[in-house]
Structure 1
Amino acid sequence: MNGKSIVWKLGLTIMILFLIVLLPLGFSIYSIFSGVYSTQVHKNVNELSLNLSKTSVGPDRNQVEFYEYLSSIMEKDIVLVDENGKVLSTNHLSQFKKGVTIPRDLYLRLRESKHFERGYTDPKTKEYFLTVGRPILEDKKFNGGILVFASIDEIHRSLHNVRNWILITIIGSTFLALGFTLFVSKKLSSPLIKMEKATRAISKGNLDTKVNIASKDEVGSLAKAINDLSIELNNYRRNRSEFLANISHELRTPTSYLKGYAQLLRKHQYKNKEELESYSSIIESEADRLAKLIQDLFELSKMEEGRLELYLQHVDLEEIIEQSVKKVMLKAKEKNLDLSYNIEDELPLIFSDGARIEQVLFNLLENAVNYTEKGNVYLSAWLEKDHVRILIQDTGIGIPEDELPFIFERFHRVEKSRSRKMGGTGLGLSIVSEIIKLLKGSIEVRSKSENGTSFLISLPLDSTIEESNHEI
């Protein structure tokens, strides 16, 4: 396994944190045990030496025998010395024997009536003792002393055992923690490794890749985001392919017409002037259609890249509506359609891009006229709270309900042959939708096949203000 992998990094981090907590804890436990044992021994020996020094008045034979007996049952060496430092009583646990004189420094400490404690190691047995010395005073006069030797080897052995058990516990806990840490780190890093493999597969073009992580935490949210990204990229690739196919098809038709009729003119394959004018008219119409397609593609591209500039100013919406209706009126009269509009009350000036609003209205009105064979086209506008509503209705062929969710997609046509006959590029409603979004507005369509279509536009009075919700 790679030492730089997240499993090892995460595992090492957890282990370091574990040891940072466990080692001081073990040291603290050992220190507590050691302190408790040492304190207890010091206390017992000091109390014993103090009591003996108080009960001793003058060393005599009875006291000597009593101390020797007391030493044997307490497993401590109680050394009784006279005023000259001579040993009178001992249990032979220490180096001092009866009749010998204790070292001068000990004698002087007792002579000075000072209590002392010190460690002592037997030179032969290497046994370690705690030595406590106290003077025997009679009427504040030095009358000898008591030395209590308490072996603390047992305590040391107990502390060593405690220390060994603590070390064994730490080592065992470390191995258990290591196994647990590797398990947890693998468990935590496994989803990340899966997501890393999935993203690499996606980057290589396998856009059907999915990450199967069911957790509802941040990792699950990241997995869902990767799956959403895969879906979006897949949709983008499919849309791009469809877009390129549609572009190729849309460009092929007018260019074929242009090339074909241009060849007829070049070879003078026409019978009379009327036929010549007819061919020229077709070439002009197809050239206009090609130019419009290119212009629509250019505008849509700028919108999607966020490069379309809006020229925001206070505009008169009534005037824009009148201009849009006038541009379509001639075509409506040619088809004997009744084109009318009604503006309820007086609309206020709105801060928006007037040219783009006129482009939207013209596109929708032209579509309504193109797809209405008889009846009427009607536009109404009114003010509702801080939005202006514009409704465009027709009595045309309508749109099937299953097609409604897709009409704002590029190149989507309900009836492709008829749409091409009308001269549409399939981009008009896509451009309308993008412009409405840029103006912070919304658009809704309602239609049924053979029952007409209505578009409801909602524009804010100020297009620079973000709206979280647009009521329709």
Structure 2
Amino acid sequence: MPVRRTLRVVRRYWRVLVRWFQHYTAPARRAWRRSLQIRVVSLTLVASSLLVGTFGWFIADRSAEILLSRTKDEVSSSLNGKVAYAYKQLTVHPLARDPELPNTIAATVNDLFDGDPAEDGGSVISIRAANHPDLGAVTLPNVDTRQLVTPEMVRAVAESGSVAQQIRTAEIDGQTVKYLVYGSPVQTKFGHVELYYMVPLTTEDRTANQIRTTVLATGIALVFLLGVVAGLVTRLVVNPVRVAARTAQRLSAGLLDQRMKVTGEDDLALLAAAFNQMAANLQRQIVRLEEMSRLQRRFTSDVSHELRTPLTTVRMAADLIFSERDSFEPAVARSAELLQAELDRFEDLLTDLLEISRFDAGFAALDAEHTDLLPIVQRVAERLTGLADRAGVELDLRLPEAPVIAEIDPRRVERVLRNLVGNAIEHAEGKPVVITVATDEAAVAITVRDYGIGLKPGEERLVFNRFWRADPSRARQTGGTGLGLSISVEDARLHGGWLEAWGAPGEGAQFRLTLPVRAGDRLVAAPLPLIPRDRPAATGEPAEVS
């Protein structure tokens, strides 16, 4: 349990840290996504920093190595001279017990000493007589060399009789100094002594640090200049692209006369000229299409209006003939009934064409008012009861007990429901049609469900196209015009709502009308699912699409 509790606490703090990081880095991440110039300059700075940093480190490291190598050569040469001098001074003593040997060693160290490290960073000389039991190391200046001459180095010089070197750091008179330490045996008649020559590397370190500082400053300046150059070059390229983007936005907003300024003869000028040519062609095509669309809408509207006058005359004659059909022969009476039905369908087609032309022209207006939808649904069901009885279809209304009030256009909503229920009865194949109403605080939804032939995959979008039918071979019972669902989806959009369809072969279909409770509100979700809950293979509600 403590482990689980600890893991929960860690995960909680981790989520808080991630949210904090995302909150404070959001402006930078947004600028990175939106600005090509920032990305190019940033990548240039990173790449140039890595390159200049690697090159600078190599230069500084090689410079330090060269300085150290030169110092080693000088110290090694100087050591050879000091070893020769010490040999010359000490070889006059044949025995290690010679009482004058300590004085000679001290004098030799004094002669070889060439500076005070506490004052000018001079070297340190130390001679150690290993086989003289009473004589220790003689050192000038009188400093503690135990930090510089390590036991390992003493063994290397005393036992192997070879020259040894090392770099050590010691604190002398309160100052930390780095020394290059050389140790060499000096062969004498009474045996060998050890000569240690310690040279401070203060000057070399100072020079190396100056080189590093110079390389660092030069690298920073170079990276900064590269960033400035990258910014200027990117700006030369990005600015025309931004101008093209803004021009394209204005074109998409309907300002078809917008053009880019063409300057020079380079590739960017060629791009601007090509863009202007494309914009001019688009403008001509759009103007041509708008003119054709306007003529088409005007033609549809004019034809619909012009057909009203002869249709009224034909309607009066047909009504007169239809009222006297009982006195006609059966064949003539049947012809009168067909004439009356086709005139009704023709009149509906003219009405739908006029309505479609108003939608196309953008003249359709919403006459919204607070209305209870339940009486509208009941009224549609009552008017289509006769059609349902003739088709052997039962209408099942599933309505809430409380009123469903929404700000809608009653005429348009009733027309949508009449089209949906009529289509459901036509395709129900004698099975029930279920009409369901539900509401929440933001939206009201009405579904019309049938269990007929259903829809094939992809037909749920085609069903709202004008004059489209799922099965053209089927005989119509409702005598529809083929424009009902197209007008219905426009009515739904005019309300700011959705009209969606679902269907599967052999499982029937369901249409869902979703409207906002308050006119002008934006829909987010629907109170009823689009995929029916009674579907055997239901997989769940798909994502809402506004």
TM-score range, shorter chain: 0.3 to 0.5
TM-score of the pair, normalised by structure 1: 0.46
TM-score of the pair, normalised by structure 2: 0.40
